[in-house]
Chain A
Amino acid sequence: MPHSVSPKRNDDEAMPDASAETGGIKLEDMFNDDENDEFPASSAPDVKMESPPAPEIAEPPAPAPSGVDTDVMLAFYQRLFPFRYLFQWLNHGIVPTRDFGNREFALTLQNDAYLRYQSYTTADLFRKDILKMNPSRFEIGPVYSTNPRDRKTLRGGQMKPVSKELVFDIDLTDYDDIRTCCVKANICAKCWAFVTMAIKVIDTALQEDFGFEHILWVYSGRRGAHAWVCDPRARNLPDDRRRAIAGYLEILRGGSQSNKRVNLKRPLHPHVLRSLDILKHSFAQTTLGDQDTFLSEEQAERLLALLPDQNLNEALRKKWGASPDRPSTSKWADIDALAKTGKSSTLNPVTLRDAKQDIVLEYTYPRLDAEVSKKMIHLLKSPFVIHPGTGRVCVPIDARKADEFDPLSVPTVMNLLAEIDAYDAEHPVGTAEVEVPDGEGSAMNGSDIKGGRKLQDYEKTSLKPYVDYFRSFIAGLLKEERAGKRDREGTAPAPKPDPMEF
């Protein structure tokens, strides 16, 4: 597959308003790639391909051009990053298995070098290497049939991807033509509503239609969200089945040059009906209300182009032309009002209703980056890493409470570190519990000291609810894994003695 090999820049450009908090981020230079529609990873991970020339040993990190410098990053990995849970999540158990050992990680180093095919046998080694390399971010790829680090010793085509979570990617740049509040990398609460709708629709479909239960939604750090479907059945799907799901969920078809992007046959499929039901309110509130999408003449014209009847359109155009500032809600109501007056003899009420349904979908239905979902080998940014542009942590989103999630209140790494300091200042501790600065003392930042339990650093911060949610998610997943393993009786890989104490 001829594609680029650069790391996936799926997340977003520098967000200017974030610089206030993180101290003058100049990341535009690094990440203002507007190519977030690209799926280099879907391509890059062609197993036969080699990673771009990248130094095997990390260069002494050049100062990152952002408030999130290398020291901050390192402190984050040492004190806050939930390595233990990330390991359990990918390993589907406590004892290290192939699920983790043969999993590809791709590290973006501080000097922008990109290291693919990294893998780790245990959580401990994983943490050690991340601390050593101090990547600005890293991505998670599939589990391979062999250890990805051994790929060069194998003959071509012998290393095959065997499983990966089914993933979805939603990004607000795909909504640029229908959001009026922000463009490109910027977001506000008004346009985040589109992501919330998308989460609801996709989450419901995955659960009710496909029967998936373990769906982890993650904030991408700037202007999007990722879903990781972790059910064993989803992880083992071959690419053509992934493509089928992506096709099932895709309703908007066509690029910038196709006029009407929703063209559904009637009767509507139950999935579409249900989605329409979920989206109707959002359309009224977000599209017509908050966004006031059809306010401008240009957007109103686009709306007319989607309506079926010429005579009705003429009447509407005349009416709207007379009052240029007519809000979207009124314009939307005008459609029915004028239709009822019977001005147009050619108008078919059923066609009009269908067209209106299509319009609701065109303006609210999730715009998925479908390529991401179609390939097992696609890499996706790990949860809990820092978005280098905003400094925000890629925290999980509880889909049941998707409405409450506010991307602008997601903690930044700087906040979190300050919170630890504030907490420690308020709760002075005995010398026995003082952190050893080299990070070894905080080993696995999850070390419970028997007796008086020492508070872990993340628990001192506003990251705690997110880590707690992640833990409960993993607990649910592991429970099913264990049940599944009992069913299969003894097919579980023989556990190796684990040096790590959990």
Chain B
Amino acid sequence: MIRQDAHRIDPKRRATIDHKKRQFATPTYKQQDYPYRLNLYDTPPTAEITLEQFEQWAIDRLKILAEIEACSYRNKTPAETAAHITPLLQKFLPLSSNTSAPSGAADTRLKNERQKDHYSHFILRLAFSATEDLRRRFARAETMLFRFRFQQDDSRERRAFIDSLNLDWEPVGDGEKNEVAENLVNSTPGLRRVDDETWYKVDWEKVPELVERRTVFLRRGKAYVPGREQLSMIIAEFTARLERALELTSRALPRLDEDDRLTPILNHLSKNFGSAESVYSEGEGYVDGAPITASSIDQLSQHFPLCMRSLHMNLRKNNHLKHFGRLQYTLFLKGIGLSLEECILFWRQSFKGKTDDEFNSQYKYNIRHAYGDVGGDVNRRGRGYPPYSCQKILGDANPGIGQTHGCPYRHYSVDNLVGLLQATGVHDKEVLRGVREDVGKMRYHIACNRVFEWSHKGEIKKVKDDGTWSQTDLDTIVHPNTYFKRSYLLKQMTQAPRDA
């Protein structure tokens, strides 16, 4: 870092910054009085709190965010998430509406709640602005929390809150409304009459969610948004502001003028933002002693989860896989411990129709890249990309025409899914019925785990009975590599005793 001498401070700034004086000056900002329950967190807190409060508040909020993230990783529906989160929020981070206290916003309890909400948000901002990944996750979790609270909010209060934001929305006049009435009805699901709503015209960029789902009428760059879709706009606004602010915070972070009281707390906080995504650590999918080579993949593929198994079957059928399929499969193979050399050999042998030259010029580099053998410094240091988790596979773009990657439970039509399952030896009517049900409810994990439990029911019973595996060893699978490892170990286990 280049430190500038005091007298070389940019003359424009010199007048306002004298940090030594500023540090002990009384804050000149307006004291926050929290008239509304919701908060866009535009103004940072300025009052003093104790170190214990600092840590405790942050930890409480972190618990909530981690739970919210976990819910989204497990693909819970909004209703399930709400049921899960509500008691936790009540316990760790209550935030009551004005109507819940006789004196309204002036009530001390409400004030304290809102202060805690406000301060804890900003503390976590400090803790999570350091890396891009943390920023992204923090913004996502905070947005979900905000959305949740916004939906729970009392409608009158919500209106007052929105009015206080001064957003740039242009109401649609009656004449124009009648002119496009039919289009408005057609583009707004569940709406019968145009007059049931007040309409606003905004730049379409403000409502990307609605545009992406095609649930808003667009004309020449303007989106015609019904009043009830305010949520979408507010959320977009919230996310945009938070992302911008986090970016600024991250730049200011190296200059955080601080003794050594806060930094350890902040570091500790950011390290404990555990999630399903980070559960997988390098090498976790390796199975010691398993003979994993290019030639053994065919045999091992019986232990693969359906997503990888279908990729393997497609590869064997077509002697080819498209890019994202290759990537998903390569990373998985890397995760089960296939070495780079063996992996290249595997793909070389699998692409029967390609010459060596074609293979080397078109495919080899990508495989090496996935292993971190080539590419930028960051890629090499990180040894390539981690194997995809279920979350990643489920959340990524849907496979397009002719593509085969993704999760069969999610991306196949139910009939094709059942066909595939039967092709892999899952015939049990009860299981298939369960899978249909799970998929209908969008519980893809559960469906996959159901199949796993069925196909290993004997082994699972055995390890449970003799107590060699505890319940945590049999927790829900959320990573394809965990699936493989567990499946492989279970089968070994039941064969091993004879050898041992």
Q: How many inter-chain residue pairs (CB < 8 Å) link A and B?
A: 157
Please determine whether A258 and B376 come into contact, CB atoms closer than 8 angstroms: no
Q: Which residues of B contact A46 (CB under 8 A)?
A: 376
8 Å CB contact of A244 from B208, B377, B401: B208
For window 289-338 of chain B, which residues contact chain A by CB distance below 8 Å?
320, 322-324, 327, 331
Cβ contact within 8 Å between A260 and B413? yes
B positions within 8 Å CB-CB of A: 132, 183, 185-187, 189, 204-205, 208-209, 211-215, 217-222, 320, 322-324, 327, 331, 357-358, 361-362, 365-366, 369-370, 374-379, 384-385, 397-404, 406, 408, 411-413, 415-416, 420
Tell me which residues from 241 to 261 in chain A have a Cβ below 8 Å from any Cβ of chain B: 241, 243-245, 247-248, 252-260
Q: In the complex, are the beta carbons of A259 and B323 less than 8 A apart? A: no
Ordered by A's residue number, 6 sampled pairs between the chains whose C-beta atoms are within 8 Å are: A2-B331, A6-B362, A211-B219, A247-B211, A254-B398, A255-B401
The minimal Cβ–Cβ distance linking A297 to chain B, given in whole angstroms, is: 20
Contacts of B397 in A (CB 8 A): 370-371
> Are B186 and A156 in contact, CB atoms less than 8 angstroms apart?
no
* Chain A positions within 8 Å of B208 at CB level: 240-241, 243-244
Which 9 pairs of residues, A with B, have the shortest CB-CB distance?
A211-B221, A255-B399, A247-B212, A2-B385, A244-B208, A38-B323, A211-B220, A4-B366, A209-B218
Interface digits, A265-288 against B, CB 8 Å rule (1 contact, 0 not)?
101111111000000000000000
Which residue in chain B gives the minimum CB-CB distance to A272? B214
A23 at interface by CB-CB < 8 Å: no
CB A246 to nearest CB in B, in angstroms, measures 8
Contacts of B404 on A, CB cut-off 8 Å?
A: 255-257
Q: Which residues of the partner chain B approach A6 to less than 8 Å between Cβ atoms? A: 361-362, 365-366
Residues of A within 8 A of B411 (CB): 254-255, 257-258
B205→A237 contact, CB < 8 A = yes
Q: What are the residues of chain A within 8 A of B214 when measuring CB–CB? A: 247-248, 269, 271-272
In Å, the complex CA distance between A209 and B224 comes to 11
Residue of B nearest to A174 (CB): B401
Min C-beta distance of B130 to chain A, whole Å: 13
The reply on A486 being an interface residue by CB < 8 A is no
B178 to chain A, nearest CB (A): 16
| Separation of A48 and B420 alpha carbons in the complex (Å) | 40
In the complex, whether A40 has a CB less than 8 A from a CB of chain B is: yes
- CB <8 Å contact, B212 and A248: yes
Main secondary structure of the interface of A (DSSP, over half): loop
- Closest Cβ–Cβ distance, residue A276 to chain B (whole Å): 12
Given A52-B365, A208-B220, A244-B209, are A2 and B402 also a contact pair (CB < 8 Å)?
A: no
- Decide: A259 near B415, CB < 8 A? Known: A4-B369, A210-B204, A244-B208: yes
A72 within 8 A of B: no
The chain B residue with its CB closest to the CB of A1 is B385
Q: From A40, A241, A269, A272, give the contact of B323 (CB < 8 A).
A: A40
Residues of B near A149 (CB, < 8 A) are none
**If the complex has contacts A48-B376, A48-B378, A49-B379, are A35 and B365 also in contact, measured as CB distance less than 8 A?**
no
State how many residues of chain A have any CB contact under 8 Å with chain B: 60
Cα-based distance from A38 to B325 in the complex (angstroms): 10
Report chain B residues within 8 Å CB of A208: 219-220
Q: Measured between alpha carbons, how far is A5 from B366 in the docked complex, in Å?
A: 7
The residues of A with any CB-CB pair to B shorter than 8 Å are 2-6, 29, 32-35, 37-40, 46, 48-50, 52, 112, 156-157, 174, 176-177, 208-212, 233, 237, 240-241, 243-245, 247-248, 252-260, 265, 267-273, 367, 369-371
The answer to whether B412 touches A257, judged by C-beta atoms less than 8 angstroms apart, is yes
B184 (CB) vs chain A CBs: closest residue = A270
Q: Given contacts A32-B358, A253-B398, list 20 more A-B pairs with CB under 8 A.
A: A4-B369, A5-B365, A29-B357, A29-B358, A48-B377, A52-B365, A112-B361, A174-B400, A174-B402, A241-B205, A241-B208, A243-B208, A245-B211, A254-B398, A254-B411, A255-B411, A256-B403, A270-B183, A271-B218, A370-B400
A174 neighbours in B (Cβ, 8 Å): 400-402
Point out which of A177, A233, A258, A265 has the most chain B C-beta atoms below 10 A from its C-beta: A258
Q: Which residues of B contact A34 (CB under 8 A)?
A: 320
Nearest A residue to B217 via CB reads: A270
B191's closest neighbor in chain A, by CB?
A267
In the complex, the chain B residue whose C-beta lies closest to that of A369 is B400
Contacts of B369 in A (CB 8 A): 2-5
Write out the residue numbers on chain B whose beta carbons fall within 8 Å of the beta carbon of A49.
Answer: 375-376, 378-379
B222 surroundings in chain A (CB, below 8 A): 211
Whether the pair A52, B374 counts as a contact (CB closer than 8 A) is: yes
Q: Smallest distance from the beta carbon of B348 to chain A beta carbons, Å?
A: 16
User: Assuming the A-B contacts A2-B370, A255-B403, A257-B412, are A267 and B185 also in contact, with contact meaning beta carbons closer than 8 angstroms in the complex?
Assistant: yes
B412 touches A258 (CB 8 A): yes
The residues of A that contact B189 with a CB separation of less than 8 Å are 265
- Contacting pair A35 B322 (CB below 8 A): yes
Question: B204 to chain A: which residues have CB within 8 Å?
Answer: 210
Complexed CA–CA distance, A34 and B402 (Å) = 11
**Contact status B400-A247, CB under 8 Å:** no
Contact A243 B408 (CB under 8 A): no
Asked if B186 and A270 sit within 8 Å, CB to CB, the answer is yes
A260 to chain B, nearest CB (A): 7
Q: Can you name the residue of chain B whose Cβ is closest to the Cβ of A266? A: B186
The distance from the CB of A41 to the nearest CB of chain B, in whole angstroms, is 11
A257 and B411 alpha carbons, distance in the complex (Å): 8
Given A209-B218, A267-B185, A273-B186, also A3-B323 (CB < 8 A): yes
Closest to B330 in A: A2
A137, B362: Cα distance in complex, Å: 17
- Minimum C-beta distance from A223 to chain B (A): 15
CA separation between A208 and B222, bound complex, in Å?
10
A-side contacts of B406, CB under 8 Å: 255
Residue in contact with A177 in the complex, picked from B218, B366, B401, B403, CB distance below 8 Å: B401
Q: How far is the CA of A262 from the CA of B462 in the complex (A)?
A: 47
CA distance A2 to B323 in the complex (A): 11
| Nearest residue, chain B, Cβ from A371 | B397
Closest chain-A Cβ to B321's Cβ sits at a distance in Å of: 10
CA separation between A369 and B361, bound complex, in Å? Answer: 23
- A248 to B58: give the CA distance in the assembly, Å: 39
Per the bound structure, the CA–CA distance linking A85 and B440 in Å amounts to 54
Task: State A372–B41 Cα separation when bound (angstroms).
Answer: 35
Q: Chain B residue with minimal CB distance to A305?
A: B415
Nearest A-chain residue to B321, judged by Cβ: A35
**Contacting pair B402 A244 (CB below 8 A):** no
Which residue of chain B is the closest to A255 with respect to CB atoms?
B399
The smallest beta-carbon distance between A176 and chain B, in angstroms, is: 8
Nearest residue, chain B, Cβ from A37: B322
- Would you call A37 and B213 a contact (CB within 8 A)? no
A163 to B296, CA, bound (A): 48
Specify which chain A residues have a CB less than 8 angstroms from the CB of B327 in the assembled complex.
Answer: 2-3
Q: Is B413 a contact of A257 with CB atoms below 8 Å?
A: yes
Collect the chain B residues with CB atoms within 8 Å of residue A35's CB: 322-323, 362
* B378 and A156 contacting across the interface, CB-CB below 8 Å: yes
- Asked whether A37 lies within 8 Å of B378 as measured between CB atoms, the reply is no
Residues B375 and A5 in contact, CB atoms below 8 Å apart = yes
A157 vs B218: C-alpha distance in the bound complex, in angstroms? Answer: 35
How near does chain A come to B334, taking the closest CB pair, in angstroms?
Answer: 10
Which residues on B sit within 8 Å (CB–CB) of A244?
208-209, 211-212
Chain A residues contacting B376 (CB-CB under 8 Å) are 46, 48-50
Min distance, Cβ B112 to any Cβ of chain A, angstroms: 36
Q: Which of B370, B384, B400 contacts A37 (CB 8 A)?
A: B400
CA–CA, A248 to B222, complex, Å?
A: 14
Assess the A256–B402 pair: CB atoms within 8 A. Answer: yes
Residues of B within 8 A of A50 (CB): 375-377
Query: Which A residue's beta carbon lies closest to that of B414?
Result: A259
Q: Which residue of A lies closest to B384 (CB)?
A: A2
In angstroms, Cα B369 to Cα A5, docked, is 8
| A residues less than 8 Å from B357 (CB atoms) | 29
Q: Chain B residues near A254 (CB, 8 Å)?
A: 398-399, 411, 413
Chain A residues, Cβ within 8 Å of B420: 257
Identify B211's interface contact among A3, A248, A270, CB under 8 A: A248
Determine the chain B residues whose CB is within 8 A of the CB of A176 once the complex forms: 402
Nearest-Cβ distance from residue B206 to partner chain A, whole angstroms: 10
B378 close to A4 (CB less than 8 A): no
